[in-house]
């Protein structure tokens, strides 16, 4: 099948259906990816979600659904063992509450550091040229006058000038890179706050803790009222993320897809389609709330179809292996020809509402009919938002950035931190529910009344209310009262079940990392500082590793934002942030450079600082320790007007103690006063020494 090489009339039937095989194949691949994700990731991830924020009776609802599907649940297969009091212990909420705030407490400070050029000697510079090397070796002899050949001296001078010129160019390039890095650093740190990265990042971290995978997508935001565009990262749920099911490792993935749902008119406007070109599949919540939807039915993704049909579902597909001409679903599908003109790195938007890619309508030809070259319009429509693929060594170079704490070797999808203890969490829910029933049953009092007792006595017992009841007996005919009325007690509760639950709960805490020290508790008294440091070091192993992964993840997101800015940015986008001079340098120099300087970190290194909640007690202790050595040196430096070390120490100390350090810092005026005082003291000392010398001379005379 030929796709696009030969221009076809607009009203031709083949033209209207020429992309249908491509869309059909992508739909088949997406179904396979969804099935693979469900098998490898969704089952455990969905259960972890329910242990985080599921219904209070989630576990028993799951048991009932499994029983209806005739899935064996062991002791829970029979309906007689279903408890009346159903409990779900959501331990994943504790994990999110403990680790989430610690991992992302504040937006990190991003440092854009230029690469420092290497210092190469003149001997190394000319090591490839034997003649030049020999001339350089003659320089000491020429300086001593042992060699007076003018021609040789001219050649040596020329070699020295070439080397010095190369050194100066390197230093100039280094200075330019330093200035460029300052501009980028100012921009990217502004975008951390403006783009609300803390809110989006916390969502991704929460999902990474619960399910094992968190995602951020770098995008370029245009404010509705106009103005500078802002590169930012937004959270997308891993439920809407698909990846190549044939890949065993993330580095082997050839395509990814992100599922989107949006109003029909918004999708048509995004892709430049005429009004009414798409048909909605799902009803919006507003239509559902208004009563327009009469029947409530949900598809497997939880969407509710309705009569309004104003929501369109589509998939943003990013491929590194062409537009899909190599996809084969079954043995009968043949490769599609013509699509190779789009190259290897292709973006397509596949919808369930039409038989053509949304970004590649029927009217767009792959080949320009006039020049017979690849169509610029088609290439622009199918290009990635930025050449992230050039940064393949950094998380694959995709337009999403993954965060995972526990990779599964040999598997594409990571695992949730709760997966190793899911059986214990199920058992805990099972025990707690039956224990609640047991407590309720054990709290009942069963009075036993002799059958021959008066009917009034039975009625009084049946109508008893409150903590005690007075029973009136007319007469006791020679019998003991215990022979007429007796109270049956339930068997005593076995305390061993609580010990077993405590051990299971401890196993869950160890698996999740929620030890007693994480809560600030201790089962026994710490007897020495060495023991305290040892326990503190052990408890920080897991949080430190998780924090390190978060910092690497945030560094990649910052680099992606810079890539978007350099690919799409204009003078107007950066001028309000860095001023007119910085915007001029950005527009005339930085945009003209190869974007690989950023993506491959040839010129700069982008690193995000810590986003963790600072440990102020530890910080104060560190400052006290270093102050013993720094303050005496700073005091001596202040005598000569050097106040920077002292001010830096006071500033750090004030931040650690949450106080304003400004009143305690020395200003430039104080520095000038110190210098003037030193000058006056020096003059006074000189005068005193001169007077002593004169007095000594007079005394000697």
CA distance 78 to 374: 66
Q: Do residues 371 and 267 both lie within one domain?
A: yes
Give the 3-state DSSP-derived string for 15-52, with helices as H, strands as E and coil as C. Answer: HHCCCHHHHHHHHHHHHHHHHHHHHHHHHHHHHHHHHH
330: left (phi over 0), alpha (psi -120 to 50) or beta: left
Where do the H-state alpha helices sit in 271-369? Answer: 285-289
Q: How many residues would you count in the chain?
A: 701
pLDDT-above-90 percentage for the chain: 15
Q: Do residues 178 and 273 both lie within one domain?
A: no
463 occurs within a structural domain: no
Tokens 């350090």 belong to which residue?
A: 661
Q: Do residues 25 and 122 both lie within one domain?
A: no
Choosing from 141, 161, 189, the residue where a domain stops is: 189
Choosing from 397, 424, 453, the residue where a domain stops is: 397
Say what the pLDDT of residue 306 is: 43
CA distance 402 to 560: 12
pLDDT confidence tier of residue 41, bands split at 50, 70 and 90: very high
681 occurs within a structural domain: yes
Q: Do residues 276 and 360 both lie within one domain?
A: yes
Q: Do residues 390 and 258 both lie within one domain?
A: yes
Say what the pLDDT of residue 666 is: 75
CA distance 435 to 4: 69
Between 109 and 586, whose confidence is greater?
Answer: 586
In the predicted model, what is the mean pLDDT of residues 50-58? 78
Say what the pLDDT of residue 637 is: 77
436-477: per-residue pLDDT in tens?
777 777 666 666 665 555 566 666 666 666 554 555 555 555
* pLDDT at 44 exceeding the cut of 50: yes
* pLDDT at 431 exceeding the cut of 50: yes
Say what the pLDDT of residue 400 is: 94
32 occurs within a structural domain: yes
Strand partners, 683: none
* pLDDT at 79 exceeding the cut of 70: no
Tokens 């403990």 belong to which residue?
A: 98
In the predicted model, what is the mean pLDDT of residues 564-580? 90
Mean pLDDT score across all residues of the chain: 77
Q: Do residues 300 and 184 both lie within one domain?
A: no
Q: Which range among 2-16, 361-375, 636-650, 652-666 shows the weakest confidence by mean pLDDT?
A: 2-16
Q: Which domain holds residue 184?
A: 113-189
Q: Do residues 159 and 280 both lie within one domain?
A: no
647 occurs within a structural domain: yes
Q: Please count the other Cβ atoms lying within 10 Å of the Cβ belonging to residue 249.
A: 12
Say what the pLDDT of residue 319 is: 94
Say what the pLDDT of residue 581 is: 92
Give the DSSP per-residue string, 366-395: SB-TTT-SB-HHHHHHTS-SS-GGGGTTTG
579 occurs within a structural domain: no
Q: Do residues 173 and 278 both lie within one domain?
A: no
100-123: per-residue pLDDT in tens?
888 887 788 888 888 778 888 888
Please give the tally of structural domains in the chain.
3
Which one-letter DSSP state was computed for residue 301?
T
Find the radius of gyration of the CA atoms of the chain.
38
Q: Do residues 10 and 144 both lie within one domain?
A: no
597 occurs within a structural domain: no
In the predicted model, what is the mean pLDDT of residues 1-15? 44
Least Cα distance to 253 among 562, 33, 22, 541 occurs for: 33
Q: Do residues 271 and 384 both lie within one domain?
A: yes
Q: Do residues 172 and 280 both lie within one domain?
A: no
pLDDT confidence tier of residue 309, bands split at 50, 70 and 90: low
278 occurs within a structural domain: yes
Q: Which range among 65-79, 254-268, 420-434, 642-656 shows the weakest confidence by mean pLDDT?
A: 65-79
Choosing from 397, 425, 440, the residue where a domain stops is: 397
pLDDT-above-70 percentage for the chain: 69
87-101: per-residue pLDDT in tens?
777 888 888 888 888
212 occurs within a structural domain: no
* pLDDT at 185 exceeding the cut of 80: yes
pLDDT confidence tier of residue 294, bands split at 50, 70 and 90: very low
Q: Do residues 390 and 265 both lie within one domain?
A: yes
């Amino acid at each position: 099948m030929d796709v696009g090489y030969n221009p076809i009339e607009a009203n031709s039937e083949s033209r209207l259906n020429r992309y249908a095989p491509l869309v059909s194949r992508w739909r088949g691949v997406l179904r396979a990816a969804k099935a693979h994700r469900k098998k490898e990731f969704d089952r455990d991830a969905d259960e972890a979600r329910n242990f985080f924020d599921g219904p209070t009776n989630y576990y028993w609802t799951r048991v009932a659904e499994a029983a209806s599907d005739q899935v064996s649940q062991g002791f829970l297969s029979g309906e007689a063992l279903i408890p009346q009091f159903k409990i779900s212990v959501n331990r994943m909420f504790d994990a999110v509450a403990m680790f989430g705030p610690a991992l992302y407490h504040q937006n990190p400070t991003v440092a854009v550091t230029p690469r420092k050029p290497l210092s190469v000697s003149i001997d190394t510079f000319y090591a490839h040229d034997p003649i030049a090397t020999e001339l350089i070796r003659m320089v000491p002899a020429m300086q001593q006058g042992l060699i007076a050949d003018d021609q040789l001296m001219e050649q040596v001078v020329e070699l020295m000038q070439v080397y010095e010129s190369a050194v100066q160019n390197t230093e100039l390039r280094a200075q330019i890179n330093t200035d460029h890095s300052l501009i980028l650093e100012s921009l990217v740190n502004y975008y951390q706050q403006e783009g609300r990265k803390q809110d989006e990042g916390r969502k991704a971290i929460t999902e990474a803790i619960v399910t094992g995978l968190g995602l951020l997508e770098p995008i370029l935001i245009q404010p509705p009222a106009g103005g500078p565009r802002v590169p930012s990262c937004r959270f997308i749920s891993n439920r809407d993320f698909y990846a190549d099911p044939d890949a065993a490792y993330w580095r082997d993935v050839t395509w990814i897809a992100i599922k989107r749902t949006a109003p029909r008119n918004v999708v048509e406007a995004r892709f430049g389609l005429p009004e009414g070109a798409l048909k909605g599949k799902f009803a919006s919540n507003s239509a559902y709330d208004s009563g327009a939807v009469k029947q409530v039915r949900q598809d497997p993704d939880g969407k509710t179809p309705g009569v309004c049909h104003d929501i369109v579902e589509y998939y943003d597909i990013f491929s590194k292996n062409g537009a899909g001409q190599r996809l084969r679903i079954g043995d009968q599908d043949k490769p599609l020809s013509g699509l190779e003109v789009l190259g290897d790195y292709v973006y397509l938007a596949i919808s369930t509402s039409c038989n053509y890619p949304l970004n590649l309508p029927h009217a767009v030809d792959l080949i320009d009919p006039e020049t017979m070259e690849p169509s610029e319009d088609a290439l622009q429509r199918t290009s990635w938002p930025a050449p992230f693929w050039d940064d393949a060594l950094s998380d694959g170079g995709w337009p999403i950035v993954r965060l995972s704490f526990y990779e599964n070797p040999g598997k594409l999808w990571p695992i949730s931190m709760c997966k190793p203890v899911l059986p214990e969490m199920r058992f805990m829910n099972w025990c707690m529910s039956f224990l609640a029933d047991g407590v309720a049953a054990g709290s009942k009092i069963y009075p036993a009344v002799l059958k021959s007792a008066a009917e009034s006595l039975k009625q009084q017992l049946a109508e008893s209310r409150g903590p005690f009841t007075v029973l009136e007996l007319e007469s006791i005919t020679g019998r003991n009262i215990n022979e007429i009325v007796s109270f049956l007690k339930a068997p005593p509760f076995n305390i061993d079940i609580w010990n077993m639950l405590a051990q299971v709960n401890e196993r869950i805490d160890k698996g999740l990392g929620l030890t007693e020290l994480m809560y600030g508790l201790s089962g026994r008294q710490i007897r020495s500082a060495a023991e305290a440091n040892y326990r503190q070091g052990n408890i920080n192993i897991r949080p430190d590793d998780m924090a390190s992964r978060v910092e690497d993840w945030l560094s990649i997101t910052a680099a992606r934002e810079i890539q978007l800015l350099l690919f799409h940015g204009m003078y107007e986008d950066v001028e309000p942030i860095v001023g007119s001079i910085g915007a001029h340098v950005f527009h005339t120099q930085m945009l003209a450079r190869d974007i690989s300087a950023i993506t491959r970190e040839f010129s700069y290194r982008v690193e995000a600082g810590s986003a963790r909640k600072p440990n102020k007690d530890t910080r104060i202790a560190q400052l006290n320790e270093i102050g013993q050595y720094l303050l005496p040196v700073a005091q001596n430096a202040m005598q000569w007007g050097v106040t920077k070390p002292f001010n830096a120490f006071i500033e750090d100390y004030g931040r650690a103690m949450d106080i304003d350090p400004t009143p305690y810092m020395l200003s430039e005026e104080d520095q000038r006063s110190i210098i003037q005082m030193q000058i006056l003291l020096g003059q006074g000392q000189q005068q005193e020494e001169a007077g002593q010398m004169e007095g000594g001379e007079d005394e000697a005379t």
